[in-house]
Structure 1
Amino acid sequence: MRRLLAFTFLASTLSACASVPAYLEKPADPSVKVPRVGYQSVAGETKTYRPVGPKGWEDLNRRVAPKS
């Protein structure tokens, strides 16, 4: 148990001496250029599913029939 406690203390002490990685420093830098975020509507490309009037069965059959 004593050995585990000593190892944990040593590991935590050495990790505190390490420098901060560059990828963690960049978010705090206000002078870094970032791309502008554009607005996209959530409902921009939705289709309407409102009821439509009935169509003739001949036209519907011609649309789904194999092309010859």
Structure 2
Amino acid sequence: MALRLDLAKPSRVPSPAQLNALDKAMIARRRCHQCKTVADYCIPTSDGRCVDCMTAPTWQTAA
């Protein structure tokens, strides 16, 4: 089955509110849960921390 490009409709242009919501969602995906910085990449959902927080040494306090 061949797709007919002459029958295709142009894609819808998102509204400014939709673009704003997408920007906020991407910032939330890139924000580290521990140090609250915004990384240049999406933070893994399995851990929720950036690479710096994952590789930083953890200090144990005496109980």
Normalised to the residue count of structure 2, the TM-score between the two structures is 0.31
Q: Which has the higher helix share?
A: 1
- Which structure has the bigger radius of gyration? 1
